Amino acid sequence: MGTGRDANTGNRIDAVLRDEAVGLWPFLAAGYPSLDTTAGMLRAFVKLPIRGVELGFPFSDPIADGPVIQQAFCEALADGIRVKDIFRMVREVRQEVDYALLAMVSASIVYRIGVDRFVGEAASAGFDGLIVPDVSLEEAPELAKCVEGAGLRLSMLIAPTTPPDREKRIAEVASGFLYYVSVQGTTGARQALPADLREHVVELRGGTGLPVVVGFGISTPEHVREVCGVADGAIVGSAIVRRIQQDVGEGKTLEGIVEDLSQFVGELAGG
């Protein structure tokens, strides 16, 4: 289980999107409130009907993340969490976890470490793909080539306002799935999803031939059900991180946080 390739099915992202029903992809801020807690959550998720996990690498100046995730990232960085620590934790947990793992990471981190080195270490640790939300379309092909060479997938973001010609260019670079940003702005829970979500997802999937997983603004089991009725999966981030923040504020132990979050994610997945 050491790389993004499964001996029987190839890349885990490809396998789950090909062979399993649509479902939930929860997001965790790596290292919040501690790396041990993140590892405990990843292990606990094995028992839940999720499709994969998006693991966010803390970054001091995130572009698309709302205040909830920004706060979690800031606290993780203040605690001294670094990229090497996340890779080490994932490498240990991967021996017990068989679902797909994606690294949500800023291009600044990737290029500071070096594309070849970062992608190689991600593959070695057990990641199956990357989401680099702020990589430019001009730089993306080079990154995509390196990612493909390591057996990983590069999921690219597309917004409701992305022009059709740019959508096509993005899809030519992407692999695994397209990450459709359901609403404009930063991440964060919303009361309702956009009325034109279905129309955009259908057009995007039909025009690119790639699976489409939807994120941003999804926060309830009902939202997950609605999204999975048209897309290939739903990503929930801010609502999950907020639940963790509430547990931390209530002084819950590591075990208590993991237990409560597992229940919450299970409810979301049940949607």
| Residue numbers annotated as active site | 54, 65
The SS3 call for residue 21 is coil
d(CA 236, CA 225): 12
Residue with tokens 């693991």: 55
Q: In the structure encoding, which two tokens stand for residue 171, read together?
A: 């899809």
Provide CB contacts within 8 A for 108, sequence distance 6+. 59, 61, 134
The SS3 call for residue 131 is strand
Q: In the structure encoding, which two tokens stand for residue 146, read together?
A: 């390196």
Provide CB contacts within 8 A for 178, sequence distance 6+. 155, 156, 157, 158, 170, 171, 204, 208, 210, 211, 212, 213
> Where is 155: in which H helix or E strand?
strand 153-158
* Size of the chain, expressed as the number of residues it contains: 271
Task: Of 170, 128, 172, 165, give the one whose Cα is nearest residue 147.
Answer: 128
Provide CB contacts within 8 A for 86, sequence distance 6+. 30, 31, 35, 55, 57
Pairing of strands 5-6, 10-11: antiparallel
Q: What is the CA radius of gyration of the chain?
A: 17
